[in-house]
């Protein structure tokens, strides 16, 4: 896969930061310009469309507030208390259903150089809840690996998390860019892929890696010793969805070992109502937003519950056939859906967080985790 960066702008206040120097060294031939934040906003960001902005990188600084709880969704839908690191904002790939089109104010990619502040915030969070195991991730407001050949951020995070006992980091991607990652220690790292059938990738996940490329990269990471994750999210309804998703699961397990998969998430298409108008304007050929949708209790548009449950049951069953001990969870689903598909549900977000820690402790002794105490999750 190839995604061109057409220009790099650098906030003059961070020109001597090590991360800035690294990016510029790794991006020879790309035009660069030093600019202050206000001028960048007025002269560049405010003048670009989203499609244009996805080819521009702005390197700047931001003190604090890059480490925060995943925004998740509102009750009664369950969330897993993931912690996100928003060091990169905006994604150069272009998925038709991506909520960032509606969520982010700026069309350009922004890289924050404040590594020390990020690590200080993480250490403070870990110290504040010593009995809890934390899962961090960099793939909330961008793809974790799409710019890694330029930023090499995985190297910094790998070094930092390898020394932690009560935390791991997940790098979530739709790419096959694992070269930098393969050179670091796999300790306390989960590398995960968002997956969809290739026909959906062709029509709705532009500039991403092909499915076979993602799975090949996953196999390479597994062979290097990394734990893996897979996200069937969003699962997208089409009239032939069963004929698409079943072979996908067969293909996945032909390349990776289920015993090395830390977790698998299931989630269906959901979006704030305002996103539909944006998508129909930017991607008029996409048919995804013409299916029957209802407004959920959190205000987001979703497939009707019977449709979601039917898809989940089939996909969950296919996964269990391949790996009965697999840890599977729902992203932003109600307890009723959990019960209809899995026969059980966590009592709260904190309980789901505990389930993650318990599964990791039991299945991956190399993580050297202390046995999780349910009370410490309920209380935190």
25 lies in some domain: no
130 lies in some domain: yes
CATH of the domain at 285: 3.80.30.30
Exposed/middle/buried for 113, CB within 10 Å: 0-12, 13-18, 19+? buried
Q: Decide: 176 and 1 in contact? Cβ < 8 Å.
A: yes
Q: Which residues 6+ apart lie within 8 Å of 91 measured at CB?
A: 54, 98, 100, 109, 141, 142, 143, 146
pLDDT of residue 31: 97
Look at the chain and report how many structural domains it folds into.
Answer: 1
Average the pLDDT over 141-148 and give the result.
97
- Which residues constitute the domain of residue 290? 60-104+114-379
24 lies in some domain: no
Confidence at 380, pLDDT banded by 50, 70, 90: low
pLDDT of residue 375: 83
Q: What is the pLDDT of residues 219-255, one digit of tens each?
A: 999 999 999 999 999 999 999 999 999 999 999 999 9
CA distance 135 to 169: 6
33 lies in some domain: no
pLDDT at position 6 over 60 = yes
50 lies in some domain: no
Q: What is the pLDDT of residues 122-144, one digit of tens each?
A: 999 999 998 899 999 999 999 99
Average the pLDDT over 268-278 and give the result.
96
330 lies in some domain: yes
Mean pLDDT for the chain? 95
CA distance 99 to 302: 13
Of 255, 258, 239, 265, nearest to 341 (Cα)? 265
pLDDT-wise least confident of 30-44, 51-65, 240-254: 51-65
DSSP string, 27-73: STTS-EEEE-HHHHHHHTGGG--HHHHTTEEEEE---S--EEE----
Output the pTM of the full model: 0.96
Q: Which residues 6+ apart lie within 8 Å of 259 measured at CB?
A: 323, 325, 363
Q: What is the pLDDT of residues 107-127, one digit of tens each?
A: 999 999 999 999 999 999 999
Average the pLDDT over 53-77 and give the result.
90
SS3 content of the chain, % helix, strand, coil (to 5): 40, 20, 40
CA distance 365 to 347: 26
Stated as kind and residue range, the H or E segment containing 340 is helix 335-342
CA distance 203 to 201: 6
DSSP H helices, 205-322, are 211-224, 241-255, 274-282, 305-322
Confidence at 379, pLDDT banded by 50, 70, 90: low
CA distance 169 to 136: 5
23 lies in some domain: no
């Amino acid at each position: 896969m190839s995604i061109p960066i057409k220009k790099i702008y650098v906030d003059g206040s961070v020109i001597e930061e090590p991360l800035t120097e690294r990016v510029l060294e790794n991006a020879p031939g790309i035009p660069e310009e030093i600019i202050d934040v206000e001028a960048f906003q007025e002269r560049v960001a405010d003048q670009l469309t989203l499609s244009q902005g996805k080819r521009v990188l702005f390197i700047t600084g931001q003190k604090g507030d890059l480490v925060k709880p995943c925004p998740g969704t509102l009750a009664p839908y369950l969330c897993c208390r993931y912690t996100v690191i928003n060091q990169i904002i905006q994604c150069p790939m272009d998925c038709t259903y991506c909520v960032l089109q509606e969520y982010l104010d700026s069309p350009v990619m922004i890289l924050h150089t404040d590594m020390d502040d990020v690590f200080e915030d993480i250490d403070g969070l870990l110290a504040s809840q010593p009995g809890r195991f934390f899962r961090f991730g960099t793939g909330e407001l961008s793809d974790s690996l799409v710019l890694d050949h330029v930023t090499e951020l995985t190297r910094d995070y790998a070094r930092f998390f390898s020394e932690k006992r009560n935390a791991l980091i997940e790098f979530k991607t739709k790419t096959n860019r694992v070269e930098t990652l393969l050179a670091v220690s796999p300790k306390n790292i989960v590398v995960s892929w968002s997956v969809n059938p290739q026909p959906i990738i062709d029509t709705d996940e532009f500039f991403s890696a092909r499915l076979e490329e993602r799975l090949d990269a996953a196999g390479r990471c597994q062979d290097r010793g990394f734990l893996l994750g897979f996200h069937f999210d969003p699962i997208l309804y089409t009239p032939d969805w069963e004929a698409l998703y079943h072979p996908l699961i067969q293909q996945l397990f032909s390349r990776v070992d289920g015993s090395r998969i830390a977790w698998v998430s299931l989630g269906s298409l959901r979006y704030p109502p305002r996103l539909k108008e944006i998508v129909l304007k930017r991607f008029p050929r996409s048919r995804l937003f013409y299916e029957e949708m209802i407004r959920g209790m959190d205000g987001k548009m979703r497939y009707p519950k019977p449709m979601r449950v039917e898809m989940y049951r089939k996909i969950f069953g296919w996964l269990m056939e391949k790996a009965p001990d697999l840890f599977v969870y729902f992203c932003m689903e109600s307890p009723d859906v959990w019960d209809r598909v899995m026969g059980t549900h966590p009592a709260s977000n904190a309980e789901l967080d505990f389930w993650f820690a318990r599964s990791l402790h039991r299945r991956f002794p190399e993580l050297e985790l202390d046995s999780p105490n349910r009370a410490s999750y309920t209380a935190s």
